[in-house]
Amino acid sequence: MADTSIEKALLARIAQGEACVGTVGLGYVGLPLALEFCEGGLRVLGFDLTASKVEAVNEGRSYILDVLPERLARNVAQGRLQATTDLDRTSECDAVIICVPTPLSKTKDPDLSMVVDATRAVGRRLKAGQLVVLESTTYPGTTEELLLPILEETGLKVGESFFLAFSPERVDPGNARYGTRNTPKIIGGITPACRRMAQALYARAVDTVIPVSSPRAAEMVKLLENTFRSVNIGLVNEVALMCDRLGVDVWEVIDAAATKPFGFMAFYPGPGLGGHCIPIDPLYLSWKLKTLNYRARFIELAGEVNSEMPEYVCRRVADALNERERSVKGSHILVLGVSYKRDVDDVRESPALDILRILEKRGALVGYNDPGVPRLELDGVVLSSRDLHPAVAEADLVVIVTDHSSYDYPAIVEAARVVVDTRNATKGISSPKILKI
């Protein structure tokens, strides 16, 4: 028999603004989410094992591009937000949200070690009446099959003496229009009581909360969103390869197709996939389906096409140099932009890293410029961002990998000997120096 008094007590603490929320992980997901809960009237304890992050938060110094320092400092000064490395303090929290990374292993299998470690840490301090939410992207079934058994080792019963839900993060770094608060939040609880708890909690931080029937459904929502993007990017990348063979401008084709007011959504080719989500999330789904004797063919094919794009870019670089009677070997090549997308400082899974490796392996003298990435570690070697204008003028070829809005593209084309443009950043600039993918 469920103890409704526990549920009512937690709902009351949330409604009255007395609840304390713990966010385990203070990265691109956890820190912005923590601030939204603070500004929703709740107190937040942020947990991270990286001492430098904890120190920065407590001093009001932001290390996340989308988190304004003054906003962070204000909430810290008001006593709404405090960071710590001490996971024992999760026992002080009414709700604990796990926002840790879920990378792939070297064999491309899901690596949930950080999720397991965080769950075990929370489980050791779990108390009656607590809500635990997983936000880390993972395969369908993780919340029920992995987290629930760990938390029930305490003897507490889900939906009665504690509550468990999954709510996928939907962070888009650098997006000026949609942030944590105005992006609808999906909630899937183990039981109806778990769902009600999570809905009530997130309503303090997010404008729109959308419940689904289970954590498994919520987990699948996240994977569908990014698989949709991966497959469509794979399709348009293959169209780019086709257009190259046909002698057609793929960018012109896409722009013309996008004039259709129904039945078409524009995706654009590029040098490959980057970031934590799109290159990785579909592989979580593919891996899970393999355990059920099902082959996710669309996902695998899109992954093959997308993963081949850095090689294609390097072939275009070789073509551009060959037209000028130069080889890749010995040429000075400048990569513009190494973050995985425009106007962010995140290099996770960036295709620029593969392009740098391939060109260096082929004997090129490579350098890079990125306004948000002053230093870059590549296979144990630390590179520094070069001064833009001298580097462009000195390079035998400039390859635009990430189309940062701060770049003056007309000036870059004017100063460069030849430009390979992987993002259509030079759209509207007419010059024989430009070669696009």
Query: What is the rounded CA–CA span in Å between residue 300 and residue 64?
Result: 32
Provide the residue type at 302 as one letter: A
4-8's contacts with Cβ under 8 Å and 24+ in sequence apart are: 6/128, 6/129, 6/160, 6/161, 7/163, 7/193, 7/196, 7/197
Bridge partner residues of 381 (DSSP): 378
> Quick check: 188 and 141 in contact, CB under 8 A?
no
Rg for the chain, CA atoms, rounded: 24
Burial class (CB in 10 A: 0-12, 13-18, 19+), 275: buried
List the structure tokens of 341.
């997308």
φ and ψ of 318, to 5 deg:
-60, -40
Bridge partner residues of 90 (DSSP): none
Q: Which three-class secondary structure string do you get for 178-202?
A: CCCCCCCEEEEECCHHHHHHHHHHH
Query: What is the rounded CA–CA span in Å between residue 400 and residue 408?
Result: 12
> Quick check: 310 and 272 in contact, CB under 8 A?
yes
> Quick check: 345 and 62 in contact, CB under 8 A?
no
> Quick check: 395 and 334 in contact, CB under 8 A?
yes
Provide the residue type at 375 as one letter: R
Active site residue 194: no
Query: What is the rounded CA–CA span in Å between residue 313 and residue 93?
Result: 50
- Which stretches of 227-386 are assigned E, i.e. beta strand? 332-336, 365-369, 375-378, 381-384
For 209, how many CA atoms within 13 A lie in the half-sphere containing its CB? 18
Q: Which of 20, 93, 99, 277 is catalytic?
A: 277
Closest CA to 201 of 99, 94, 125: 94
Burial class (CB in 10 A: 0-12, 13-18, 19+), 235: middle
Closest CA to 422 of 325, 365, 344, 337: 337
* Active-site annotation, residues: 277
